[in-house]
Structure 1
Amino acid sequence: MRKLLLLFPLIPSTAFAQAQAGWGNVGQQEDKGFSWTDPLWPDFWMAWTPATLAVFVGIFSAIALIGVLEVVKFRDGIERRGVLGLTTTLGDRLFITLLGSAYIFLAWLGIVGQPVWTPLFLAMGWGVFVFWKV
């Protein structure tokens, strides 16, 4: 009984905390900041989030960079025979990098799940390996 009397002064503070941050705020809108998973255009047919936009901009920028390098600097295409025994150009190596990176991410998500920081670094290492040795 004494222990209950010692807890008695805490009861009003618990009720006050419940009123401030508890069920009283259930139906109210929260102010949200930036989110990588919120759609940029809610009524568009595809859910373009900032993350998907960044991925597609990165892929198309890499393709454009390889195209500019092939046209301006390396007109003959820098063909070489690498570790896999394939004769590849810069575009071939970019394609192998993107394909391998997709498989790395899918395997990671299937086996481990999130977060995806580790497969990001694995995919970057794969890209360096492909452009260096393949």
Structure 2
Amino acid sequence: MKRLLLPALLMPGHAWAQGWGNVAKEAEEKGFSWTDPLWPSFWMAWTPVTFVLFCGIFGAIAIIAVLEITKYRDGIERVGVLGLTTTLGDRLFITLLGTAYIFLAWLGLMGQPLWAPLGLSMAWGVFCFWKV
């Protein structure tokens, strides 16, 4: 019994030194961040922005696939302003490629904010599906 008394008397001070006094304290909440990874231990840093971007791209591909399968079985081929014979998928690809170039050129020449290239990219997308 005497052997257990000595460690019991030393225990609270030792436990306090290791930080056991902070156990009952609540963790400090930090707010939402657009740049923090969604899954920290995952192989790719999926931020909310990249997740929304890829969901949008795959959603557009899915919509075009459904349209090609159901409504436009033969595809909507046409020769547009650029002189190319394109289908819906081709126009989506040209839109995405042009959007990437618009954003990269804007970042290289002007910097941030990116609201203006977003508007330009939307206008480019409308132009591609309407005239290309």
1:24-67 Cα deviation digits (max 9, x unpaired): xxxxx863211111100111111100000000000000000000
Percent of residue pairs identical: 77
Match of 1:34 in 2: 32
Give TM-score, length-normalised by structure 1: 0.76
Counterpart mapping for 1:72-91 below 5 A: 72-91=70-89
Segments of structure 2 that go 5 or more residues without pairing to the other structure are 1-26
Match of 1:57 in 2: 55
Segments of structure 1 that go 5 or more residues without pairing to the other structure are 1-28
Count of aligned positions: 106
Match of 1:24 in 2: none
Provide the secondary structure at the position in 1 that maps to 2:64: helix
CA distance in 2, matches of 1:39, 1:87: 41
CA distance in 1, matches of 2:55, 2:34: 15
Runs of 4+ in structure 1 displaced over 6 angstroms?
none
1:66-107 Cα deviation digits (max 9, x unpaired): 000000000010100100000100000000000000000000
Instruction: Choose which of 100, 103, 107 in structure 1 pairs with 2:101.
Output: 103
| C-alpha RMSD over aligned residues | 1.2
